[in-house]
Amino acid sequence: MITIKEVSNKKDLKAFVKFPFKLYKNSKYWTPPIISEELKTFDTNENPVFKDAEAKLFLAYKNNELVGRVAAIINWLEVKDQEQQKMRFGWFDFIDDLDVSQALLNKVEEIGKSHNLKFTEGPVGFSNLDKVGVITEGFECITTMVTWYNHPYYIKHYEAAGYTIEKGYAESRFDFSNVNPESFIKAQALIKRRYQIEALTFTKTEEVMPYVDKMFDLFNKTYAALASFVEITDIQKEYFKKKFISFVNPEYINFVLDKDKELIGFAIVMPSFAQALKKANGKLFPFGFTHLLKAKKQSKDVIFYLIGIHPDYQNKGVHAVIFNEYYKVFKAKGIETCYRTPELDDNIAIQQIWKHFKPEVYRRRKTLRKNL
């Protein structure tokens, strides 16, 4: 018999966050999160997303043993402002038992119906800066810090529950040795002169901070046309500043300014923390923080986390200016492999940016939906 329990206290929340540590204990490819950070994600006093969203967390038990979890999420900005009658769900993990996964999805669907929502979609987070998608191809590659891992059996559980594919995502990588600087060095110099733009680079994190709000404003403009987009609010900007910017090497942040010093392009690259997070095994102390600091300084792999160009400057080669700056930094650091976070299959603009680097798709993801 399957029992579903709603998370209602700190003990339950900790069980919710730690369940994947049991489920993926023997996986070489699962990257554990930092437990304290995951707990903050669901803290309504800590995470400002709860100003515009709500979530109910559920645990599944079989014979008194924890066997699954799910977060049922409603983003009211999406529902009310965008009129997307969507019931979101994420952090969806379970043993290979159809009764378990179905019981958890039933809870999600019940909540959606109670709010007169039209469909469910998952796995997704609260916003576009959260993790997304169930892996359908590429299980034998370690996940990045900003993606979920799942066992191959997950997809059959969605299908058995009547879910169909909603969106497709691809994760790609390319060897830094594939990068031919001749493809952008001359172009970026011409583009700078033609459009009177300049690159802005940093050596200290505090130098970045005055520009971060403008970066998120540009992020909103850049991605607004995508089907999955939900705007980042002002209060969320402050939260993401604290959560992400301190993790990023300042030299891995590049901005492009126009002649009026307005931001028209940005890119954020992160060192790969995957192996460091496996060593930390969910804990910053006593040694986890040391592993992360070492990776921040020494990792030979990098992840292109965010890149955006103002709509007025898209298809004008502005990305060449950004790549020129990264090339100099990556070459000096001896970077070997560049990874990209999940990108929508229909995001043709971003695919065009990378085509000269001979990218290889190494993993595919899907979100799935069900009409209510």
The DSSP result for 216-257, as a single string, is HHHHHHHHTTSTT--PPPHHHHHHHHHHHGGGS-GGGEEEEE
pLDDT single digits (tens) 3-37: 999 999 999 999 999 999 999 999 999 999 999 99
Same domain, 164 and 202: no
In percent, how much of the chain has pLDDT > 70? 99
For the stretch 21-32, what's the b/e string if a residue is b when 16 or more beta carbons lie within 10 angstroms of its beta carbon?
eebbeebebbbb
Query: Are 42 and 70 spatial neighbours (Cβ–Cβ below 8 Å)?
Result: no
* 87 in any annotated domain: yes
* 369 in any annotated domain: no
* pTM metric for this prediction: 0.93
Give the per-residue pLDDT at 354: 83
E strand spans, the chain:
2-6, 53-62, 65-75, 86-94, 119-122, 134-137, 164-175, 198-200, 253-257, 263-271, 301-309, 337-340, 343-344, 360-371
CATH number of the CATH domain containing 249: 3.40.630.30
Provide mean pLDDT across the span 253-282.
Answer: 95
For the stretch 230-262, what's the b/e string if a residue is b when 16 or more beta carbons lie within 10 angstroms of its beta carbon?
bbbbeebbebbbebbbebbbebbbbbbbbeeee
Binned at pLDDT 50, 70 and 90, residue 228 comes out as: low
Chosen domain end from 119, 149, 169: 169
Provide mean pLDDT across the span 269-290.
Answer: 93
Provide mean pLDDT across the span 292-301.
Answer: 94
Same domain, 164 and 64: yes
pLDDT single digits (tens) 110-169: 999 999 999 999 999 998 789 999 999 999 999 999 999 999 999 999 999 999 999 999
* 371 in any annotated domain: no
* 14 in any annotated domain: yes
Give the per-residue pLDDT at 15: 98
Give the per-residue pLDDT at 227: 63
Give the per-residue pLDDT at 235: 83
Print the domain residue range for 146: 2-169
Binned at pLDDT 50, 70 and 90, residue 347 comes out as: confident
Give the per-residue pLDDT at 11: 97
Same domain, 8 and 128: yes
Number of structural domains the chain divides into: 2
Same domain, 162 and 180: no
